[in-house]
């Protein structure tokens, strides 16, 4: 009787160990899949068509002469921006790149909350896309104080930081030596979330004019 009992106990122990190892394997697998993103992009970017990024379900959606199906720094940047599912907070000095504007408009059309802080003077220059964003119903605030708004960063879904030297212009993307850092490290993302909130409140035009 004691031998049979011992066999049962050993069997149950082995089964429990197997189950535990399986659960641990699944847990580590999920943790590996959720690895924190850290990526660096350098510009100028190679020239390539990005239409497939905007219309991924449509085959042969573009017949332009640019290379197709090529992954570049710019295409990577677009993909990260378009990964937003709930919010995009953008703080940008100069914004004239039409593909980046298209990405922001697409997010807005999908119900993503988009907020933009930009430089007052540069938002008024020829080619600026700030007016296009405003016409689409996106809330844009420009600096109402004397300090120049020279930031270039975006926060996607309060989890992904996109920052660096890159202005969102065609020249910066195609002609300048620029860098972009993308990270999901909370210790880096959180200060930028706070900075955006500070600038958003600081440049609230209703508060500014009420104090005049």
pTM exceeds 0.85, yes or no? no
Out of 150, 194, 197, 204, pick the active-site residue. 150
The 10s digit of each residue's pLDDT in 57-71 is: 776 668 889 998 899
**Segment 16-32 mean pLDDT:** 61
Burial class (CB in 10 A: 0-12, 13-18, 19+), 32: exposed
Out of 52, 80, 151, 152, pick the active-site residue. 152
Out of 46, 99, 108, 157, pick the active-site residue. 157
Q: Between residues 88 and 148, which one has the greater pLDDT?
A: 88
Q: At what angle do helices 98-109 and 73-82 cross, to 10 degrees?
A: 20
* CATH architecture label of 36-210: 2-Layer Sandwich (3.30)
Q: State yes or no: is 157 an active-site residue.
A: yes
Q: Where are the alpha helices (DSSP H) in the chain?
A: 2-33, 51-54, 73-82, 98-109, 130-135, 170-174, 186-202, 205-210
Q: State yes or no: is 152 an active-site residue.
A: yes
């Amino acid at each position: 009787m004691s031998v049979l009992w011992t066999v049962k106990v050993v069997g149950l122990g082995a089964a429990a160990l197997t189950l535990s190892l399986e659960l641990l394997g699944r847990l580590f697998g999920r943790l590996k899949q959720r690895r924190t993103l850290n990526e660096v992009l350098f510009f100028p970017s190679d020239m390539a068509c990005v239409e497939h990024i905007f219309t991924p379900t449509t085959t042969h959606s573009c017949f332009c002469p640019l290379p197709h199906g090529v992954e570049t720094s710019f295409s990577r940047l677009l993909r990260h921006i378009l990964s937003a599912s709930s919010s995009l907070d953008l703080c940008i000095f100069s914004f004239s790149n039409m593909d980046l504007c298209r990405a922001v408009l697409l997010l807005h059309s999908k119900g993503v909350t988009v907020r933009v802080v930009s430089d007052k003077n540069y938002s008024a220059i020829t080619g600026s896309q700030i007016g296009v964003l405003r016409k689409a119903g996106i809330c844009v605030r420009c600096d109402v104080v004397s300090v120049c708004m020279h930031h270039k960063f975006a926060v996607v879904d309060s989890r992904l930081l996109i920052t660096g030297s890159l202005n969102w212009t065609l020249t910066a993307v195609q002609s300048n030596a620029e860098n972009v850092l993308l990270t999901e490290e909370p210790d880096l993302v959180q200060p930028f979330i706070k900075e955006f909130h500070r600038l958003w409140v600081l440049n609230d035009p209703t508060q500014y004019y009420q104090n005049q």
